Structure 1
């Protein structure tokens, strides 16, 4: 359920903010338009918001600036501590996409960025099913994440990054659970959501699902 990547999350805590601002060439394209993408997620969120994978708190900052009440979930102790130092007003709880304390109040938006790919497709299905039970009619899931139009496109992209010598990025793309739009759409539809995909950069799509 993504917990197998905790060591990587802990390691990234200190360098993540540098990476997302383009200082690591291997990940520059992955995080292109980073703040624009975060703002797109925040703009679509409404009401009480459940945020998975708070990381260093950059999306949380934009959600707070909008005046939203946030319940933050983050499995990495290092990430939680880093975000709390940056934004002391944040309330962040240990948890993950599948195992988290249920919010005390009705949630109307569920958000996450660059994180949902840490679940297998089966786990993604489990997660969306649990979120369907939490959200009211019209409630939204807004994720920004790497997703591919087809398995062939995924293979071609990985081959291209391999040829560039981007070994760390290739390792991520081949060991984490990146899926296709077709698979995600089927999962959302099965749990009663309408879903749209908007490409934000070469890797990342804004995924917006609304409960019917």
Structure 2
């Protein structure tokens, strides 16, 4: 359920903000237009927000700036520390996409940025089923995450990373669980959520799924 990547998250805590700002050439395409992507997630959020994979708190800060009430879930202690350094009074809980304390108030929006791909496809569906039950009437999921449009694009992306000598990125592509768009679409529809997908850069997509 993503916990196998905790060691990676702990290491990323020190360099994540620099990386998303374009400081690492290998990941520039992954995080291209990063701030704009987070703004789009926030623009589609409403009401009480539950955020998974808070990381260093970049999306959290934007949500709060937009006047939203946010409870954050983050499994990495070092990431939580970074987020708390940035945002005074932030509500952060140790948990992950599948194992987390359920808030005692309705959840209108569930958000995440660049994290859901750390679950296997089966775990993603398990999480989606849980979120569908947890969301309030007319609630929604809003994710920004990496995925493949189809199998052909997956092959092309791997070839592109290899051609450019991006060995660390290629390892991520091979060991993390970037899903196919159709796989996510099927999981959302199965659990009474109507999904919308919009590609935002070579890797990242805006994913909105409304409860119906």
TM-score w.r.t. length of structure 2: 0.99
Deviation at 1:156, TM superposition (A): 1.2
Any gaps of 5 or more consecutive residues in structure 2?
A: none
Deviation at 1:137, TM superposition (A): 2.5
Deviation at 1:140, TM superposition (A): 0.5
Q: Which residue of 1 aligns with 2:178?
A: 178
SS at match of 1:138: strand
Q: Which residue of 2 aligns with 1:96?
A: 96
SS at match of 1:110: strand
Structure 1 residue runs of 4+, over 3 Å off?
none
Is the aligned partner of 1:107 residue 2:107? yes
Q: Which residue of 1 aligns with 2:70?
A: 70
**Aligned-partner Cα distance in 1 for 2:51–2:136:** 17
Q: Which has the higher strand share?
A: 2
Q: Which residue of 2 aligns with 1:57?
A: 57
**Aligned-partner Cα distance in 2 for 1:156–1:29:** 14
Q: Which residue of 2 aligns with 1:144?
A: 144
1:17-57 Cα deviation digits (max 9, x unpaired): 00000010000000000000000000100000000000000
Deviation at 1:88, TM superposition (A): 2.0
TM-score w.r.t. length of structure 1: 0.99
Aligned residues: 212
Q: CA RMSD in A?
A: 0.6
